[in-house]
């Protein structure tokens, strides 16, 4: 980093909500490295969910205090952690904003696992209460503070439901033409329609409406990042010291598909493809996640602009192609297992991502070196894996639970549509 970049950002203060999580921690380090003053707000809920599920990150993540101390030793940069439950402690959060006066807030502080959100009524309700209240409290507090704080939120590609009606998914807005009663044709721009596939994804769809409303009513400056599935584990900064290591979720609830496949192959566990593996999804490497967040902070919408929406992904892949690629690379074996989710068995996905490219993102795409790096991390910490936690057991409907005969199983989305 040049001294110049550091001095530009030196006076900028960024609050990272959820800064202890899988995306939040490496983002906090990256922003700190770029010269931002970083404050992490986190109620350690992700660590508590690990306790609930009786599972741990494959990598030995350190307590947050140790992480922050290690970062200071390695970089000379200080970071602060404040434990606030954003969904409940509105007054403390507002007070903190008034004291700290941040330039930007990055909001990762939501329950982010679709399978976890579908486990039971309690998990559905927790996900809705936590995510909706956290987002609303943040918006409400920014208005109340009277400060011009740019909010950067981590949304998801999943708000769109992975179908495209033949067009590339645009970055947030869709131009439509409607016919009035008098037959006149009127052009409009609307939010691209959502079609979430889990309670978790539904909360991110609801977030979009909250942003639209507060942007319209209070002229808040908001950027919403619709991110694909993140793969990889470490970034330049988390690699600097073992105490800075990032999480590696491999369990059936929090492990995401490509990291799971790489980890399964490294451990000699069959690679678990759900259904036919015809699901096509958007992907991004964790190193690009942190870079995109920085680009979003540095390219804020102007006062009065609509919510700025970026598709934060670099490529799309079909799940079975990923499984075959990992099997070939590692000599692993693929197991096609019944799909615990309710999702289209096969889908095409075409996504626009010109906005980040125009801001200077040079995308990292799947490459052997980075895939091998994940495999090496998985091999190194294989002794920490609990094999009983690998299968995905959270089902989207009661009928999908084990023991329910096949003729009582729900139709897939695709079968329902055809």
Active site residues: 156, 200, 204
Based on its alpha-carbon atoms, the radius of gyration of the chain, rounded to whole angstroms, reads 21
Shortest Cβ 43–ligand USQ spacing (Å): 18
- Output 202 or 307, the one with its CB closest to ligand USQ: 202
Select the residue interacting with ligand USQ from 84, 114, 141, 355 (CB under 6 A): 114
CA distances from 147 to 136, 144, 208 (A): 16, 8, 21
Shortest Cβ 160–ligand USQ spacing (Å): 8
Tell me: does residue 272 bind ligand USQ (CB under 6 A).
yes
Select the residue interacting with ligand USQ from 14, 58, 97, 157 (CB under 6 A): 157
**How far is CA 51 from its chain centroid?**
21
Shortest Cβ 228–ligand USQ spacing (Å): 4
- Output 46 or 67, the one with its CB closest to ligand USQ: 46
Q: In this structure, are strands 150-156 and 104-107 parallel, antiparallel, or unpaired? A: parallel
d(CA 89, CA 99): 16
- Output 79 or 392, the one with its CB closest to ligand USQ: 392
- Output 68 or 309, the one with its CB closest to ligand USQ: 309
Tell me: does residue 319 bind ligand USQ (CB under 6 A).
yes
Tell me: does residue 137 bind ligand USQ (CB under 6 A).
no
Tell me: does residue 343 bind ligand USQ (CB under 6 A).
yes
Residue list 159-218, contact with ligand USQ (CB under 6 A): none
Shortest Cβ 191–ligand USQ spacing (Å): 17
Contact pattern for ligand USQ over residues 17 through 56, marking x by CB under 6 A: ----------------------------------------
Tell me: does residue 229 bind ligand USQ (CB under 6 A).
yes
d(CA 254, CA 264): 14
- Output 189 or 399, the one with its CB closest to ligand USQ: 399
Q: Is 275 left (phi over 0), alpha (psi -120 to 50) or beta?
A: left
Binding site for ligand USQ (CB under 6 A): 112-114, 156-158, 228-229, 256-257, 260, 272-274, 277, 279, 281-282, 319, 339, 341, 343, 392
């Amino acid at each position: 980093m040049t001294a110049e970049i550091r001095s530009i950002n030196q006076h900028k203060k960024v609050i990272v909500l959820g800064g202890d999580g899988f995306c939040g921690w490496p983002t906090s380090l990256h922003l700190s490295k770029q010269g931002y003053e970083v404050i992490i707000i986190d109620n350690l809920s992700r660590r508590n969910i690990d306790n609930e599920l009786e599972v741990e990150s494959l990598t030995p993540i350190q307590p947050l205090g140790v992480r922050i101390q290690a970062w200071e030793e390695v970089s000379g940069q200080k970071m602060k952690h404040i434990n606030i439950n954003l969904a409940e402690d509105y007054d403390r959060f507002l007070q903190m904003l008034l004291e700290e006066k941040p330039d930007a807030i990055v909001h990762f502080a939501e329950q982010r696992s679709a399978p976890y959100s579908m486990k039971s009524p309690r998990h559905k309700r927790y996900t809705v209460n936590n995510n909706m209240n956290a987002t609303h409290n943040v918006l409400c507090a920014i208005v109340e503070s009277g400060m011009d704080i740019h909010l950067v939120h981590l949304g998801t590609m999943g708000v769109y439901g992975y179908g495209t009606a033949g067009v590339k998914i645009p970055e947030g807005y869709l131009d439509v033409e409607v016919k009035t009663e008098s037959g006149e044709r009127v052009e409009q721009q609307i939010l691209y329609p959502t079609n979430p596939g889990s309670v978790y994804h539904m909360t991110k769809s609801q977030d979009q409406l909250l942003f639209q409303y507060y942007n319209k009513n209070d002229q808040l400056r908001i950027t919403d990042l619709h991110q694909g599935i993140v793969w990889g584990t470490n970034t330049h900064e988390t690699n600097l010291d073992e105490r800075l290591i990032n999480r590696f979720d491999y369990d059936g609830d929090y492990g995401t598909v490509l990291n799971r496949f790489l980890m399964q192959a490294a451990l000699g566990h069959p690679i678990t493809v759900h259904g036919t593996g015809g699901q096509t999804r958007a992907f991004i490497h964790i190193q690009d996640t942190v870079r995109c967040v920085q680009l979003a902070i540095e390219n804020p919408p102007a006062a009065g602009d609509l919510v700025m929406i970026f598709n934060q992904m670099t490529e799309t892949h079909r799940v079975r192609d990923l499984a075959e690629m990992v099997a070939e690379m590692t000599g692993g074996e693929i197991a096609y297992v019944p799909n615990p989710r309710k999702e289209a068995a096969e889908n095409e996905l075409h996504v626009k991502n010109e906005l980040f490219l125009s801001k200077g993102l040079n995308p990292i795409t799947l490459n052997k070196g980075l895939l091998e790096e994940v495999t090496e991390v998985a091999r190194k910490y294989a002794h920490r894996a609990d094999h009983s936690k690998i299968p995905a057991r959270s089902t989207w409907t009661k009928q999908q639970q084990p023991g329910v005969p096949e003729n009582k199983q729900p139709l897939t989305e695709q079968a329902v549509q055809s």
